Amino acid sequence: TSFGFREVNPGEKQGLVDSVFHSVAGRYDLMNDLMSGGLHRLWKDAMVSRLAPPRSGRRPFKVLDMAGGTGDIAFRIAERSNRTADITVADINSSMLEVGRERARARGLDRLEFVEANAENLPWADASFEAYTIAFGIRNVPQIDKALSEAFRVLKPGGRFLCLEFSHVDAPVADKVYDLYSFHLVPKIGRVVAKDEESYRYLVESIRRFPDQERFKAMIEAAGFSRVGYTNMTLGVVALHVGVKI
């Protein structure tokens, strides 16, 4: 595992990740819009469309939004389900959760639950949820295989896993443009807007080191999931991986 340009162990990586998100929490939502040119909204909408939560609330639909941070995915699921889904936002970072709770209050979403938890070691019983979502979160988790097997464990049989994450651009020219943008511009925007160049260097480096579409698919299968597949968005800048627990 690495952070920046040196090798670190899982505990050390988590500590560094935590300091990044404590540092950016207050500006996190603004920075997402700036860095992605608003695209993160479309990527997140696409994920929740794929989830397609039931709209009536007649049958139970419990979702765990892991690494849910400031609530973007949870709010979309709530609206799509006519506020009937039972949603738990879990994150390891209390600063991100605090921003999320405040945003939920402002939207009148009082049925959301915010829980401090580590994706590698979840405090829920086996077979607790119909769906597990994680958006731009798994890349930050030091031991991805542990997070995937915990996801598998807490899902009910038939439960679905959906993971949105930065991935690998596989298109001539576009890949070069993307590298230029991410290595040069992103840290500068981070410096000017968030006054935090280091955190955004981490962001770019962590994206570059994350396994590509096929390798990540194999990891999800190794955790026990069936019918694993992925959809690229924006030429593979982002990929949505899905799987089912049978």
Site for ligand SAM, rule CB under 6 A? 14, 17, 21, 67-70, 72-73, 91-93, 96, 118-120, 135-137, 140-141
Longest alpha-carbon distance in the chain: 51
Strand residue runs (E) in 92-203:
113-116, 129-135, 155-166
Nearest residue to ligand SAM, by Cβ distance, number only: 69
Q: How far is the CB of 173 from ligand SAM (least distance, A)?
A: 27
- Cβ proximity to ligand SAM, 27 vs 57, nearer residue: 27
Q: Is the four-CA dihedral 69, 59, 53, 246 of positive or negative sign?
A: positive
- Cβ proximity to ligand SAM, 60 vs 107, nearer residue: 107
Residue in 164, 204, 198 with CA at minimum distance from that of residue 180: 204
Q: CA-based angle 5:139:35, to the nearest 5?
A: 80
Q: Which residues are annotated as a binding site for S-adenosyl-L-methionine?
A: 70, 91, 118-119
- Cβ proximity to ligand SAM, 136 vs 225, nearer residue: 136
Q: How far is the CB of 114 from ligand SAM (least distance, A)?
A: 11
The two beta strands, 86-91 and 2-3, are: unpaired
- Cβ proximity to ligand SAM, 65 vs 86, nearer residue: 65
Q: How far is the CB of 40 from ligand SAM (least distance, A)?
A: 7
Q: Which residues are annotated as a binding site?
A: 70, 91, 118-119
Please give the structure tokens belonging to residue 223. Answer: 């955790």
- E strand or H helix at 228: strand 226-233
- Cβ proximity to ligand SAM, 22 vs 57, nearer residue: 22
Q: Is the four-CA dihedral 67, 5, 43, 181 of positive or negative sign?
A: positive
Q: How far is the CB of 72 from ligand SAM (least distance, A)?
A: 4
Please check whether residue 84 is in contact with residue 55, taking contact to mean a CB–CB distance below 8 angstroms.
Answer: yes
Q: How far is the CB of 177 from ligand SAM (least distance, A)?
A: 22
